[in-house]
Amino acid sequence: MTSSTTGPADRADVPQLFRLSVEVGDLDEAIAFYGRLLGLEGRRQAGARCYFQCGPVTLSVQDVSALAAPHPAAKSLYFTVTDLDAVFVRAQALDCLSTELVHDAPAGAVVVRPWGERSFYVQDPWGNPLCFVEDGTVYPG
């Protein structure tokens, strides 16, 4: 009989997330935006894309404008950072802070959320939602 649940012995080959992709409409503009927001230098790749190394996971920014309009990510991509206030200042300068509400608090403000995370949300020029969370406040679930 096989079981659909995994136990401790079955965890030797746990899938590891290594790349997330967002679609954009202008690669040069996206490289400038993400480079400034993340404070990182991207690595251009073949196929109208650029990689930003965000810890163990690579953010792949892909220009799809030659084929179709960019489709925004379904939900926020979450990043932990040690200096949330510095990233917030960069997001302010890019004028990309979210105008939505998260649990009745402004998403685009640095707020301690009801679950204890100190965070803020942004939206890139192509509608991709991103969230930055201060390291040490991440809610593990």
pLDDT in tens, 49-73: 999 999 999 999 999 999 999 999 8
State how far the Cα of 122 lies from the Cα of 132, in Å rounded to an integer: 8
Per-residue pLDDT, 4: 53
- Mean pLDDT, range 6-32, rounded to an integer: 85
Packing angle between helix 27-38 and helix 84-94, nearest 10 degrees? 150
Model confidence, pTM: 0.87
* Local confidence band at 8 (pLDDT 50, 70, 90 cut-offs): low
**Which residues lie across from 8 on neighbouring strands?**
none
**What's the mean per-residue pLDDT of the chain?**
93
Per-residue pLDDT, 7: 56
Per-residue pLDDT, 77: 96
- Mean pLDDT, range 7-22, rounded to an integer: 80
Per-residue pLDDT, 14: 86
Per-residue pLDDT, 21: 96
- CA dist 47 to 9, 41, 44, 61, 80, Å? 40, 18, 9, 11, 28
**Which residues lie across from 103 on neighbouring strands?**
none
- CA dist 104 to 85, 101, 123, 133, Å? 21, 5, 18, 18
* Local confidence band at 12 (pLDDT 50, 70, 90 cut-offs): confident
| H/E segment holding residue 54 | strand 49-54
pLDDT in tens, 94-139: 999 999 999 999 999 999 999 999 999 999 999 999 999 999 999 9
